[in-house]
Chains A and B, each alone.
Chain A
Amino acid sequence: MAATETTGKVAPEPIKAEPPSVTKYFALVEVVLRFLLFASALVAVLVLVTSKQTKRLQFPPFPLVITMTAKFNQSPAFIYLVAALSVTGFYAVISTLLSFYSLLKPGYFTKALSHFVVLDVLLLGILASATGAAGGVAYIGLKGDSQVGWMKVFNIYGKFCRHVGASIAISLFGSIVLVLLVLLSVYSLSKKIPK
């Protein structure tokens, strides 16, 4: 998806035939990847925050109705995922704007952008641990654990389960985008070593 998008945009680029076309190509890919990171973080946060589900349980012989609510803030792991995704999204906005500006006017923020790779690795760690945390809890919710006596709960909540799963999948995609960003930064740095 990303590849086709970038190649579509880049296609008219070689006509200008500037000497630093390789670095410009890298810069464009970086902007697209950072925007993808922002979009995935935003979507994942929205999907997880809107996962609230209220279920009314009835037991036919009795006139008793129990309402049960599932919400993301009932588990610390999901709160952590929301916080990590928010931080990632906020960082992605800033870095997208900076890298876009330096794409339009080459030479600006180059020094600052080259230091972003450290923050990228740091955020990769945070986002990966948050995804792992949410995934670990969601797996117990999905399968249950008979040894410890934790029963599965996701068979009760359909919508909540789908939202949590989608959010974890999207944040996994965000982690992969972060890995690609770090690799791109390192690769373009090693390309720019003066000969």
Chain B
Amino acid sequence: MESQYKTGNNGGIETGANYTTNGRGSEVAVANKKSFRGWDFVLRLLALALSLAAAVVLGVNKQTTTMPVSLVPSLPPVNVPVTAKFHYLSAFTYLVVANAIAGGYAVISLLLALANRRGNKAISLLTMILDLAMVALLFSAIGASLAVGLIGYKGNSHVRWDKVCNVFGRFCHQVAASVALTAASAGAFFLLVILIVFNLHKRH
């Protein structure tokens, strides 16, 4: 795989040389590359900001409310303080960790993109593979949190899992906001992969 790839890499450099000798072709290629790079930076920055925001919004999510519990039917209900934190549910922990990984990767890939201005194909293929991995990771985390959040919102009568969002209103809204932010971040990574494919198509 690696050695095969090296040959492809040389081919890519040769293409660049050919384009520069061609004259008109070089302008087109450079223009494409520049516009693509600009979008690349913007999308990576966007993904970084969104992932970071999603992780923080869910990470600081903690709500304490009092819930009336009637111990003895004849007596008035006793108010018991109950707390909801994100790490009580493993799906939310997964969402925070996935967002942290995606944010960290976005920083690294930004640095790589800055260092890789000449267009080394090995690095761009590596970033493409990792972008794809981030798409899968973020989408699976969204799915998990959404499904668990839906149980919290609606409950599930078949297995007698009661809904909890009527007690923890703000907590649930914050989870929903975090999921939405993660979805936007996953969309940014998705667009990055699509942009790479379209760029390849154009040079095809």
Query: Which positions in A face B, CB cutoff 8 Å?
Result: 70, 74-77, 80, 114, 117-118, 121-122, 124-126, 128-137, 139-141, 143, 145, 147-151, 153, 175, 179, 182-183, 185-187, 189-195
> Contact at A189–B204, with CB atoms within 8 Å?
yes
- Chain B residues with Cβ under 8 A from A114's Cβ? 201, 204
Given A74-B159, A186-B200: A148 touches B152 (CB 8 Å cut-off): yes
Q: Classify the secondary structure of B's interface with A.
A: helix
- Chain A residues with Cβ under 8 A from B102's Cβ? none
Residue tally, chain B, CB below 8 Å to A: 51
Query: Which positions in B face A, CB cutoff 8 Å?
Result: 8, 11-12, 14-15, 18, 84, 88-91, 94, 121, 125, 128-129, 132-133, 135-137, 139-148, 150-152, 156, 158-162, 164, 186, 190, 193-194, 196-197, 200-201, 203-204
- Chain B residues with Cβ under 8 A from A151's Cβ? 159-161
In the assembled complex, the CB of A107 is this many whole angstroms from the nearest CB of chain B, namely 15
> Contact at A179–B132, with CB atoms within 8 Å?
yes
Task: Report how far A194 CA is from B145 CA in the complex, Å.
Answer: 45
In the assembled complex, 17 residue pairs joining A and B whose CB atoms fall closer than 8 Å, in A order, are: A74-B159, A121-B135, A121-B193, A122-B190, A124-B135, A126-B139, A128-B140, A129-B140, A132-B142, A133-B144, A137-B148, A140-B151, A140-B161, A147-B84, A150-B161, A182-B193, A190-B125
